[in-house]
Structure 1
Amino acid sequence: MRFELDDDQRDLAAALEGLLGAADPVGAARAWASGDHGPGLRLWSRLTDLGVPSLATEAGPVEVAIAFEALGRHAVPGPWVEAAAYLPLALGHELEGVATVALPPLVPYALDADVADHVYVGSTPAGSVGERVGSVDPTRHLFPVAGEGAVDDAAFDLAVLAVSAQLLGAGERILTDSVAYVKQRRQFGREIGSYQAIKHRLADVRIALDFARPLVLGAALGAVPASAAKVATSDAAYLASRTGLQVHGAIGYTRELDLSLWLTKVRALVTAWGTPAHHRQRVLASLVDADGGR
């Protein structure tokens, strides 16, 4: 079966790309990392006006996947998975303002609880917010919260789909920037992109992302488990980040290079909303159940 986006979905993708392409999300991400939430909150407001937080309840998983791939491709900061994927479905309605949630032990910390208007544990408002803990991604501000709440399975799977789409978008951005770099970086009198070893590495990333994309769409359509999409996109985006770092050489290790925003985000998202091992176990369990336990 070949799946294609309909006109409304293509319009959503184009609108998001147009908004984010002109909004300096990289600047907002860098400011967010430093503790200045102003640019990120203004971007949050613009995306809210576009209807991103209501997609989970008023559109569907495909639209959620489209939106989160764009958020990942542009490194948009903030607790979007929590506020626009998990909580609207778990609570049955969209929340005003910025919202975040923790689901211990799989999601042990509430992302950006310091700036959120609503902080939940499961579907229950959190009792208190603790001191910030570190993250490999400086744009992710993690906080322990007090309280107990049950996990909504359908909302959790939608959040996993959203993270998967973010990883896909981030991987695509890293690949795009890496290809552009190897075309202009010269060594020994020729573009480094002309060397077979680099071509093969980038081609491997292209193949991995192309194999992951159908699983994201399949999960959005309910044809495959969301965990399968998370495993595939985690592997593909991590390969993209390693390859991007290698082809950029020493400059790839610097925070001044925008590439660092996606490298650290991928590293954090790989284990966010369940580790790869957890999701592989879920896929295995679903296969065993489908086979009747044989």
Structure 2
Amino acid sequence: MRFELDADQRDLAGALDALLSSAGTVAVARAWADGDHAPGLALWSRLTDLGVLSLATEATPVEVVVAFEALGRHAVPGPWVESAAYLPLALGREVTGVATVALPPLVPYALDADVADEVYVGSTPVASVGDRVGSVDRTRHLFRIGDAGDAEVHPELPGEAFDLAVLATAAQLLGAGERILADSVSYVKQRRQFGREIGSYQAIKHHLADVRIALDFARPLVLGAALGAVPASAAKVAAGDAAYLSSRTGLQVHGAIGYTQELDLSLWLTKVRALVTAWGTPAYHRARVLEGLL
């Protein structure tokens, strides 16, 4: 089966890329990580005006994938999966402002609950936010939800809203993996060692080619899941594996500088590591795929 975006979907991708390319998303993400939400909320407003929050209810999952791949490629911070994918379907309405959600045990903490206008456990609103929990991704501020009483709320079992959130996360992983690969290819063309660009060495070419293949194999699964032809869990596993391979390879080809927070690449490396287990671990989604086959 051949997957191609139509003209409107390509226009959406182009509009998002143009907006985010000029928005200084690296600075926005770094500010968000440090607790300065103002630049991120300003970008949130611009993306809302572009219709990102209404895609789940007014468009198709393909448009959701297009949008979230762009968000991942540009490392846009904030609870976008929660506000633009899960909650619109769970609540039956578009979210206004910033909203977040927890679905224990699969999603045990609420992302960016400190800045959200609405906080939910499943589709049940909660009034109190608990302690913050650490994340490998500094832009992901995770919070326990409510007091002991709120902890007894049992959210809905995984359904259409959960699968769309899983698909959106897979698209983010795909976008982040593509960005890491692009930055890695650019770097190996510039970095010289022993009198030649390191990208000219066959071993490095092979590693980068493996990433290209992994991402190219994951993309049809993500688009197939958007069309309902593939389980969302299969798309999440494939995109997570491909993005994780991209992050490991990107770290290797950048050498020691790749381990530093000062390098912008670190925003994507840590984001991939966090998203791989967000909205269900790889083991959970592999089990869902197996259950569907049986």
TM bucket (normalised to shorter chain) is over 0.9
Q: 1:241 to 1:191 in 2, by over 3 A?
A: same
Instruction: Say whether residues 1:154 and 2:160 are aligned partners.
Output: yes
Structure-to-structure mapping, 1:155-174, within 5 angstroms:
155-174=161-180
- Tell me the equivalent position of 2:111: 111
Q: 2:200 aligns with which of 187, 194, 201?
A: 194
Q: 1:152 to 1:234 in 2, by over 3 A?
A: closer
Residue ranges of structure 1 left out of the alignment (5+ in a row): 289-294
- Tell me the equivalent position of 2:74: 74
- Tell me the equivalent position of 2:223: 217
**Identity across matched positions, percent:** 82
Query: Which amino acid in structure 2 is aligned with residue 119 of structure 1?
Result: V
Q: 1:204 aligns with which of 210, 227, 230?
A: 210
Query: Which amino acid in structure 2 is aligned with residue 231 of structure 1?
Result: V
| Distance in structure 1 (CA, Å) of the matches to 2:181 and 2:4 | 23
The alignment partner of 1:143 has SS state of strand
Q: Between Structure 1 and Structure 2, how many residues are aligned?
A: 288
| Distance in structure 2 (CA, Å) of the matches to 1:234 and 1:181 | 23
| Structure 1 stretch displaced more, 169-178 or 127-136 | 127-136
The normalised TM-score by structure 1 is: 0.97
- Tell me the equivalent position of 1:35: 35
Q: Report the alpha carbon displacement of residue 46 of structure 1 after superposing the two structures with TM.
A: 0.2
| Distance in structure 2 (CA, Å) of the matches to 1:73 and 1:127 | 33
| Distance in structure 2 (CA, Å) of the matches to 1:249 and 1:131 | 36
Residue ranges of structure 2 left out of the alignment (5+ in a row): none
Instruction: Say whether residues 1:247 and 2:285 are aligned partners.
Output: no
| Distance in structure 2 (CA, Å) of the matches to 1:22 and 1:180 | 20
Query: Which amino acid in structure 1 is aligned with residue 176 of structure 2?
Result: A
| Distance in structure 1 (CA, Å) of the matches to 2:26 and 2:229 | 34
Query: Which amino acid in structure 1 is aligned with residue 56 of structure 2?
Result: A
| Distance in structure 1 (CA, Å) of the matches to 2:63 and 2:47 | 14
| Distance in structure 2 (CA, Å) of the matches to 1:85 and 1:96 | 13
- Tell me the equivalent position of 2:242: 236
| 1:220-269 superposed Cα distances (whole Å, 9 cap, x missing partner) | 00001000000001100000000000000000001000000000000000
Q: Report the alpha carbon displacement of residue 152 of structure 1 after superposing the two structures with TM.
A: 5.2
